[in-house]
């Protein structure tokens, strides 16, 4: 039960600062800022724990954060998903908040956010592997006109590097650049949107180009661009596994002005190139299509299974730029991971940079070895290092170590009955009693475009 301020107020005791720490050794840490949304309660003091990265970025805040980015880490079943969902539901009460969620977990072909989407009257954007012409399939064009032309080329390079499995040679980059420029020009003459197949056509039937003052013949350009052409064939050829996701105009009806956008990625395979390819496309697509320069909306991008971003250098490069300019864009980036062991941070400086840019870390229960690695990397205090492996008591499900700037607290997440129903991911493994099944729960109000939840 949360205690109000009047209930926790005590008579003042005059003392010197030198003696105060000895007189009251067991007092919990002070709160950070009374503005924001309630997460739960600070475990040792019982006080409400309030958090909002945008408010804490304000120079007038009690705790000044250098960025609004958040890392959520911990084993399955200890509360990561519940925290993200309740945070979004509570933040939607603010008029100047918008969210985009990349939902990579779920069951029966739907993501974990499907229940919340239904309650709020939102249709998730579902990506269907290898068949964008299915009834609920969606195609996203990496060369969408909402993405500036120079950034389109960055996306192209990243996609080709993912398919080929390594960085492109300088000659291949040159051939791909010429093909992209030719494809954009040809599509403009025909007054239509340029697509990946246009670039593939230009790669395999190039025109003479200039490299400085040197003329490069079509035969030479064809040889230089062969690795990129083979990679694009994997994405454009209808007989290939990756066909259907990216080749063609973006599917109509995707509302990038909605207060909450959910991309359901659960039908994409976890292994292989499909997921990192989508991440490479969706980062710039969100940046230039979703984030509107000049408005006052504060936006939050939540990425489930964020190792798909951090473990692939071409994708990490694109997202590092997005995260690095988060202050200018009014963006809070949430990376959700199970543990850091999946990542080779020494071999991926872009991934390490993204993690370093997170000023808030929410750490749930971890195995002892993983807890030691995490504590060393994040510079946790001794008590937090000991707390993380204790999954039965200190870091039991729903409890997490919050490192917000220089402050570290043990926080117990609190949910309402409605939130418990909407955030429960253990339905298949648990049984509900008759009382729980018949419990009266307050309804959610559908989310209206431009309004509050």
* Distance, CA of 339 to CA of 257 (rounded, Å): 33
Band (pLDDT 50/70/90 cuts) for residue 452 is very low
Fill in the DSSP letter of residue 342. Answer: G
Pairing of strands 97-103, 298-303: parallel
pLDDT in tens, 420-450: 998 876 555 455 544 444 443 444 445 554 4
Per residue in 113-160, pLDDT (tens digit) is 988 999 998 888 887 765 545 555 678 899 998 888 889 999 999 999
Q: What is the mean pLDDT of residues 34-47?
A: 89
Q: Which residue has the tokens 């050829």?
A: 237
**Mean of pLDDT over the chain:** 84
CA dist 52 and 58 (Å) reads 10
Tell me the range of 123-127, 230-234, 319-323 where mean pLDDT is highest. Answer: 230-234
Chain Cα centroid distance, residue 101: 6
The DSSP secondary-structure symbol of 28 reads P
Question: Given this model, what pLDDT does residue 435 score?
Answer: 41
User: Considering only CA atoms, which of 36, 116, 54 is closest in space to residue 359?
Assistant: 54
- Average pLDDT for 301-312: 85
pLDDT over 70, % of the chain: 83
Q: Which two tokens stand for residue 17?
A: 């600062």
Q: Which two tokens stand for residue 148?
A: 């500036």
Maximal C-alpha separation, the chain: 87
Confidence of residue 4 (pLDDT cuts 50, 70, 90): low
SS3 211: strand
Highest mean pLDDT among 143-147, 170-174, 284-288: 170-174
Residue 280 in contact with residue 162, Cβ under 8 Å? yes
Q: Are 159 and 281 in contact (CB under 8 A)?
A: yes
**Dihedrals φ, ψ of 70, to 5°?**
-130, 135
What SS3 state is found at 172? helix
Torsion (CA) 323, 324, 330, 334 in degrees, nearest 10:
30
| Joined tokens for residue 29 | 């840490």
Residue 367 has pLDDT above 70, yes or no: yes
Q: How many whole angstroms separate alpha carbon 283 and alpha carbon 269?
A: 19
Higher pLDDT, 268 or 217: 217
Instruction: For residues 229 and 201, give the distance between their C-alpha atoms in angstroms, rounded to a whole number.
Output: 9
Residue carrying the six token digits 């192209």: 156
SS3 labels along 210-226: EECCEEECHHHHHHHCH
Please answer whether residues 265 and 275 qualify as being in contact, where contact means their C-beta atoms are separated by less than 8 angstroms.
yes
Closest CA to 27 of 14, 8, 40, 11: 8
pLDDT digits (tens, 9 = 90+) for 379-408: 899 999 999 999 989 999 999 999 998 899
How far apart, in whole angstroms, are the C-alpha atoms of residue 443 and residue 384?
38
Burial of residue 282, with CB atoms counted within 10 A of its CB: 0-12 exposed, 13-18 middle, 19 or more buried: buried
Give the separation between CA 197 and CA 44, rounded to whole angstroms: 60
Burial class of 131 by CB neighbour count within 10 A (0 to 12, 13 to 18, 19+): middle
| CA gap 372, 375 in Å, rounded | 5
Pairing of strands 37-42, 298-303: unpaired
């Amino acid at each position: 039960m949360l205690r109000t301020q009047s209930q926790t107020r005590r008579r003042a005791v005059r003392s010197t600062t030198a003696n105060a720490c000895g007189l009251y050794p067991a007092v919990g840490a002070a709160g950070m800022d009374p503005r924001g949304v309630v997460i739960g309660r600070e475990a040792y003091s019982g006080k409400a724990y309030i958090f909002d990265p945008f408010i804490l970025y304000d120079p007038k805040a009690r705790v000044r954060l250098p960025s609004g980015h958040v890392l959520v880490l911990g084993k399955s079943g200890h509360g990561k998903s519940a925290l993200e969902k309740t945070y979004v539901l509570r933040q939607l009460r603010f008029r100047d908040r918008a969210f985009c969620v990349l939902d990579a977990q779920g069951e029966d072909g739907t993501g974990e956010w499907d229940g919340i989407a239904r309650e709020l009257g939102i249709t998730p954007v579902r990506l269907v592997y290898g068949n964008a012409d299915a009834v609920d399939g969606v195609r996203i064009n990496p060369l969408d006109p909402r993405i500036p032309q120079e950034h389109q080329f960055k996306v192209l390079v990243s996609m080709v590097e993912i398919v080929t499995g390594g960085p492109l040679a300088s000659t291949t980059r040159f051939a791909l650049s010429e093909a992209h420029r030719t494809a954009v020009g040809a599509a403009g003459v025909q007054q239509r949107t340029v697509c990946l197949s246009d670039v593939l056509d230009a790669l395999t039937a190039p025109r003479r180009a200039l490299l400085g003052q040197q003329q490069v013949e079509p035969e030479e350009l064809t040889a230089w661009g062969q690795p990129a052409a083979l990679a694009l064939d994997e994405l454009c050829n209808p007989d290939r596994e990756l066909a259907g996701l990216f080749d063609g105009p973006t599917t109509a009806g995707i509302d990038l002005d909605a207060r909450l956008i959910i991309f359901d990625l659960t039908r994409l395979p976890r292994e292989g190139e499909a997921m990192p390819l989508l991440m490479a496309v969706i980062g710039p697509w969100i940046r230039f299509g979703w984030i509107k320069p000049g408005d006052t909306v504060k936006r939050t991008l939540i990425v489930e299974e964020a190792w798909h971003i951090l473990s692939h250098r071409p994708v990490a490069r694109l997202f590092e730029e997005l995260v690095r300019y988060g202050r200018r864009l009014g963006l809070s980036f949430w990376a959700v991971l199970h543990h850091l062991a999946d990542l080779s941070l020494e071999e991926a400086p872009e991934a390490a940079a993204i993690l370093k840019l997170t000023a808030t870390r929410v750490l749930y229960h971890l195995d002892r070895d993983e807890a030691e690695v995490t504590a060393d990397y994040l510079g946790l205090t001794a008590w937090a290092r000991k707390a993380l492996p204790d999954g039965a008591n200190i870091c039991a499900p729903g409890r997490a170590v919050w490192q917000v700037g220089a402050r570290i607290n043990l926080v117990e997440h609190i949910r309402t009955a409605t939130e418990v129903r909407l955030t429960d991911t253990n339905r298949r493994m648990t049984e509900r009693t008759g009382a729980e099944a018949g419990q009266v729960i307050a309804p959610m109000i559908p989310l209206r475009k431009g309004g509050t939840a």
